Chains A and B, each alone.
Chain A
Amino acid sequence: MTSTSENPRLALDPHVDLGGGGVAATAAAPSRRRRPQGNGGWRMRLEIAALAGPALVVFVLFVIFPVILAAYYGFFSWAGYGPATDFVGLRNYVTILQDPTFIEALKHNVMIAVLSLVVQGPIAIGLALLLNRKMRGQSVIRVLIFVPYVISEVAVGLGWSLMLQSGGAANGLLEKVGLGDLRQDWLSNPSLAIWSLLVIITWKYVGFAVILFLAGLQGIPEELSEAASIDGASYWQVQRLIVLPLLGPTIRIWAFLSIIGSFQLFDLVYIIWGQYIASTAGTSTMATYMVVNGRNAGSYGYGNAVAVVMFLISLGIALLYQRFLLRRDTQGAISGDKI
């Protein structure tokens, strides 16, 4: 912490006179890169180190390094204390992949990922287009749409589990409007529980998608839509032919975040179904499996192996996604520096 709090001050000091290199080429135009003269070269390197260093150090130490740690401990049967000595090779991995509970959990993750995209995507695009229009009370509506996203998973989980439990408000409401026959055990009926979970997930996270899409919409020059509507395009034609294609990169990035989030889903399931009944209700995920069979069972070696499996699955998805969809969007940013 001390090093990270010192560096910004050093880097942000407006009175540091660096002279030298002046404006080096920006990322956007690598072809016009100017060779920095004199001591500008090392000054620039110093600036780069001072500015990017703190973020890199924290990131590598707490994001990258734990994955390496997990890969190491995954080969051991280890209770979490003292040095890991009981090397078991790939046995943890064999156990995981042969465990039907894990396979079930993985299936739930896949289902949640697919349905989140299919359900949340269209709703969020519609909402973002709606909120992008000028209308009375717009700012109030924007705030309200985001309310579920702002509320903690714990509060959401508690509230929804009280509403959906068999004696809860959902069934109470059905009874009141004369649909008492539709009363269900929304949370523990294995054929319903995952759908309840999906409703809650949609309710909770659609606001995040809307925020991203709204930001994307703001980046689309208004002149384009104006020109099109002067040429006689209807509102919907403008949205479909101009706005949506330009929103493409934002949608692809959201979809990526949503898929990855679905594969890491933990909080809501663990809070609503607890550590014991998630698998019987059919809502367990890889992450709840990891926590239940790793930390809670005192098998840290095994838990780390599950983490590695989750990581590899996410990595595989990310690489595929990057290969087929995302490349176009990040291309400009990354390939700008082909040396």
Chain B
Amino acid sequence: MSYLLETENLAFGIGDFQLVDVSLALESGEYHVLLGPNAAGKTVLLKCLLGLHRPRGGAVRLRGKDITSRPPEKRRLGYLPQTYGLFPHLTAGGNIDFAVRRSRGGGGREQLLDLLGIRGLLERPVGELSGGQKQKVALARCLAAGPEAILLDEPFSAVDEETRRYLWIELKETFRKLGVTVLQVTHSLEEAYTLGEKISVLIDGSVRQSGTREEIFQRPGDPDVARYLNYRNIFSGPVRKNSGGWEADLGHFRVRPPGPPPAGERVTVCLRPQDLKIIREGVPVRDSLRDNLYSGEIAALHPFPEYCLARFKVTGSPREWDLELKFPSYIKDRHGLHPGKKIRVAAWSPNIIVF
């Protein structure tokens, strides 16, 4: 099938930094998030798509047509930078009209003003707008030009923490109503999860994985992606086959994933912190938890506003701690958890990741 916007083996170099073989594909109307750590090349990639950087190799296609050598003004791709870039010599309305005058059909200035709720801001100088208002005016300007797709670079970095989540939902709803295709850059996992229907993970200048948000967050494609998602329990060890299946021998404990054994002699496995459950003594253990049950003690507890992290040390382990657990805050009280407390922990088998 033909994608709205796609790149094929895009390559670009600037200083020591390289974008390598980047292939991305956006379907029409999709909200696609480009997720990655700082300096992974996210902004550089956006600028290659926009025509602001000239790639060294590969192709950019819009509706199947090669636009790699088209200048930015002929690409029909909207751009919302981190700082919004509202022209300081114009009012909010002047900024929007700047785009309207050049719009190639579509746009719909009046509809945008109502949908974004910015009709009252038109006469204001841009210096007097709040972060959220600036974002909306910049968005209206971007959409008023009637682009095929819009590219957003960390659009929430200048918005207050408390309004950010509200804006995520509002923005996504606006784009859904307008049927806009979006590619958004972010380094925030939460933002990517909330907004992205599709997510591509960019690390060190290459796209490591593209997929639905469930695929990315449940089945990270490689250990680097898993680490970026904050999954700390990543271990490598030799594969041991036995009558019941196979296991990864990690020295002082073993992980028994479901499914057939991997081809090599060594394997890397990942246990997501949220897939580790605390099991009370004397309570029957479910099948899906029974294969990976560990006894030990809590090495440390780290409470956060919305959850709690615990570090768990397997009995007899030479390390300070072995596994990181993430659970809702109330669990801490229900189990009376404290450092040094002896507990049992089980990994939920279906979600064990094997690389």
Genuine A/B complex:
no
